[in-house]
Amino acid sequence: MSLTRDVANMVANLTYDELPAHVCDKAKLLVLDHVGCMIAGSTTRGAHQMTPYLGRIDSGGPSTVFGTSLRFHPANAAHANAHGVSMLSLDDSYILFGHPGASIIPAALAVAEDVGSSGKELITAIVGGYEMSLRLGTAMRPSEDRDRQVKGYATWQIFGACTAASLLYRFTATQIVDAYGLTPMHAPLPFLRKFHSRPMSLLKNNYGWANKGAITAVDLVRAGFHGNRTIFDGDDGFWAMAGSDRFEPGDMLDRWGERYFILETGFKPFGVCRWIHTAVDCLRALLSRHRFSHADIKGIHVETVSEFVRDFNGPWPQSTVEAAFHIPYALALELHDKSSATGLREDDLADKDLQETASRISLSTLAGADEKFYAEKRLPARVSVTLENGETLSAEADVPTGAPGGPAFGPAQVEAKFLTLVKPVFGEANAVRLKESLLELESLSVRDALKSCAVA
């Protein structure tokens, strides 16, 4: 039997009753977190550009466009919501693998609303999406040289959305095989190595298209199309199409039902690239211990991974997307009590005091950091603050808050984050009601759980 068929069989046999309770709880928290990011993200400039465009090509449908009164066809709703969820850079993170939930949860919610799924079916589909997506990412093991040349997350994470949608439509293993065969024909190219040019694209990882492409592939199977049925097999398998020079097929099936990748996915407390979070953590730790202000600082030096030094510095950002990938900007926000914890704000880009503080922040490569990053999936950073009185304060960390093995960002923090993001859009009563519904997802239908999302 082919690898593709083996994977499809595993996915098709996934059931809610066999999932451990803590896996289901993690899935519900991830849904809560992403819905909060979608609703808050709907107010951003990027969403205000994307959603009206999609509205012009959609005549209406069953699926919620979060933060709006609009309803689209599932493919377009998932496109809009996935684009919105990434706009504040607060969505989940799997280190070195981007933001897997952005290519799973929008598609799952849109399809679940369309077909009237139960909360249990949604949870199962989301767990399946994370397992499929992150196992594929783990199996695609490009050499360091290839990774530095070719990289893209939505390119392969599209299979997470395809898996979730397939489960919600109750596909057989054969239908899942066909959906997997059609999915690469709708996948974005691995574009990341060209992303950091200026101006940066508001599409970011193009997770919106990955959601739409996956649902399109699934819809085509429903219409009778067939796909390549050995898409993961052989030297010409998907991994080669996606730009990797190595592939370990056993990783896609290893300890299925024992190791849950969804549990290894982290929550983000700050609205900047995950790779910056350890530097933010270090600065916040120093601020907490020593109580200095930006006016007390002579200079700050950040040592971290060489790739971050190269890409996360440079000209002052001209958009919140560029700001999310700018270490001096992220640290200056903390020093001016404008933390990115609620997302980045357009108005802060013109703040001359922020710019002056950021000009005192320098970067260099930390010895041994590259090896930890590429081989161990760690995000090492050392932050040294020199005060005007000549005193130097330093802090160092390898794993950021909210990532497995790092400082905790647990259910209470995720729930508080959700309310902070949603209350300005929906009001406190609706935000609390929606939070409670999503945390009781296993006892509700998806349509009932989302009733508080209605916008007049």
CATH of residue 151's domain is 1.10.4100.10
Residues 123 and 64 in one domain: yes
Residues 249 and 316 in one domain: no
Give the position of tokens 């109750």: 170
Provide the token pair at 183. Answer: 């999915």
* Helix axis angle, 428-439 to 21-41, nearest 10°: 150
pLDDT tens digits for range 173-222? 999 999 999 999 999 999 999 988 889 999 999 999 999 999 999 999 99
Q: Give the pLDDT confidence score for residue 115 in this predicted structure.
A: 98
Residues 233 and 151 in one domain: yes
CA dihedral of 64, 67, 68, 72, whole degrees rounded to 10: -30
Q: Is 350 a domain residue?
A: yes
Provide the token pair at 375. Answer: 């081989």
Q: How many domains is the chain partitioned into structurally?
A: 2
Residues 114 and 221 in one domain: yes
Question: What is the residue range of 146's domain?
Answer: 3-264
Q: Is 185 a domain residue?
A: yes
Q: Give the pLDDT confidence score for residue 107 in this predicted structure.
A: 98
Pick the last residue of a domain from 264, 285, 310.
264
Q: Is 206 a domain residue?
A: yes
Pick the last residue of a domain from 353, 370, 397.
397
Residues 57 and 131 in one domain: yes
Q: Give the pLDDT confidence score for residue 456 in this predicted structure.
A: 55
Q: Is the previous residue joined to 199 through a cis bond, with omega within 30 degrees of 0?
A: yes
pLDDT tens digits for range 325-337? 999 999 999 999 9
Residues 298 and 212 in one domain: no
Half-sphere CA count of 382, side-chain side, radius 13 A: 12
Give the position of tokens 């190219």: 189
Residues 141 and 223 in one domain: yes
pLDDT at 94 over 60: yes
Pick the last residue of a domain from 343, 369, 397.
397
Residues 257 and 280 in one domain: no
Q: Could you tell me the pLDDT band of residue 341, with boundaries at 50, 70 and 90?
A: very high
- Give the span between the Cα atoms of 379 and 363, in whole angstroms: 15
Residues 239 and 284 in one domain: no
Residues 134 and 162 in one domain: yes
CATH of residue 359's domain is 3.30.1330.120
- What's the pTM value of the predicted model, to 2 decimals? 0.96
pLDDT tens digits for range 53-76? 999 999 889 999 999 999 999 999
Residues 308 and 245 in one domain: no
Across the chain, mean pLDDT equals 96
Averaged over 165-180, what is the pLDDT?
A: 98
Q: Give SS3 for 12.
A: helix
pLDDT tens digits for range 121-160? 999 999 999 999 999 999 999 998 998 899 999 999 999 9
- Give the span between the Cα atoms of 204 and 206, in whole angstroms: 5
- Give the span between the Cα atoms of 422 and 415, in whole angstroms: 11
Residues 218 and 290 in one domain: no
pLDDT tens digits for range 266-304? 999 999 999 999 999 999 999 999 999 999 999 999 999
